[in-house]
Amino acid sequence: MAVLQIREALRRAMTEEMHRDENVFLMGEEVANYDGAYKVSKGMLAEFGAKRIIDTPIAENGFCGLGIGAAMGGLRPIIELMTWNFSLVAYDQIINTAAKGYQMSGGQYNIPIVFRGANGTAENLGSQHSQALESIYAHFPGLKVVSVSTPRDAYGLLKSAIRDNNPVCFMESEMMYGFQGEVEDEEFLIPLGKAEIKRDGTDVVLISWNKAIHTCLAAADVLAKEGISAMVLDLRTIRPLDEQAIFDAVAKCGRCVVVQEGYPFAGVGAEISARVHEACFDALDGPVLRVTNRDIPQPYATNLEQLVNISPEHIIEAARAAVSR
């Protein structure tokens, strides 16, 4: 077992897939000469050359569209977005071309493309650079949405995403590229659409994804000292959603708290809450509770960020309320 940072696990996955398939290439801002904004692609230009590690202008709409066209032509692009916030410049390309190409062509061609980059709240970057966008992209059929929390998941899920014949939105965390964890030395893939229990428990299930998983694990440690056994379920893939894993966890615990790094209105947490209430009503000992960021644009100042963002304390309070019902 190697101990890798998330950036290293992503790099290993891309490098292996590029050796495996000559149609795979990486394109994005600063991915080549600068080794990537977060050093995910460090050394890849020297290894694969400028035809497969391609620097682009600051023009997301252009290079996302170029990547989609390349995928239509039989290549398998990886498009690195410096942050998913910048994907909004290319929203029309991702939604109206990538997500719908297979259906609108009558199944004549697939669009095997991965859009990947940093997602969610960062630190002191303000409202335009600190948004979690899973719910926006998961809303549209035709896109798969992955959001990772560990180096092992980043490696195994990215390899599956690159091999998938559908467009995949692969969301990392700007604050977690240096997070370390064990990754098997042998090659492996993690199938898209499979959640994972990161910590078992019996009293309440905390459902989350991306770096909020680690906030949930910190909360679970405190809850355990109070005699509350909290399961932590990592969705890993938002779409397709592993409903069965969610329903099984709710059936076991009877109480559910969904933790979302993002806004409450029309979020992934709201969708999970609706599905659990519809499918697991008899198994619930109380309503599904949600923990989200406050419903205001992200502030810049550190002290205000701490008030707006989710925290272990917020999760602990929600779990206590769920168990007390």
**Active-site residue set:** 60, 129
145 forms beta bridges with 169, 239
8 A C-beta contact, residue 53 and residue 31: yes
8 A C-beta contact, residue 190 and residue 236: yes
182 forms beta bridges with 3
The 10 Å CB-count burial string (b at 16+, else e) for 140-153 is bebbbbbbbbbbbb
Q: What is the largest CA-CA distance in the chain?
A: 60
The alpha helices in the chain, defined as continuous H runs, are 6-20, 44-48, 60-72, 91-92, 101-104, 134-138, 151-163, 212-225, 243-253, 268-279, 302-308, 312-324
Residue given tokens 């590229």 in the structure block: 177
32/53 Cα distance (integer angstroms): 6
Going by C-alpha positions, the residue among 94, 214, 57 that lies closest to residue 151 is 214
Cα Rg of the chain (Å, integer): 20
